[in-house]
Amino acid sequence: MGNRYVDFDLIKRVPNKYNITPKDIRKLRVLDWDKLKQLTWFNNAMSEPCWCHIEGSDNGGYFGDDVNEFWIGFYEDGKVDYHFSCYDGMCDYIFTEFYQAKDIENKHDLAVQVNAISFLNNLLDEKIVELSTN
């Protein structure tokens, strides 16, 4: 078993209020497209255009600037997709639950999870999306 990195104070400041798992992200349903569009950008370069948000672990602000990144796309047909990457985008970062020590090897792993939860909490708090039960 490799090294693990957990910052309990950071997790306490940005809790997983809705007990979301990564799989739950695909169950999000947009309630307010106008508000969502203010927090995302339209990507028409994809095979299916969608409204995207990308956020990294290092607050770089540009795609590929961060060691780890989180991407979420909201498609106008209701589909939602997401992706976590690590090692400067060279690898998928796959985990089944947020904030589990077994899946957090370094500060970048934790930071990208915290940033994703912060974004998702905001969308749910502001009733921009809801978590569908389907």
Q: What's the confidence (pLDDT) of residue 57?
A: 84
Instruction: Report whether 128 contacts 41 (CB < 8 A).
Output: no
Higher pLDDT, 27 or 2: 27
For the residues 47-68, what does the mean pLDDT come to? Answer: 78
Share of the chain above pLDDT 70, in %: 93
Whole-structure pTM value: 0.91
Please report which confidence band the pLDDT of residue 20 belongs to, taking 50, 70 and 90 as the band edges.
Answer: very high
Edge-to-edge strand order for the sheet containing 69-75?
Answer: 41-43, 50-56, 69-75, 80-86, 91-92
Higher pLDDT, 6 or 1: 6
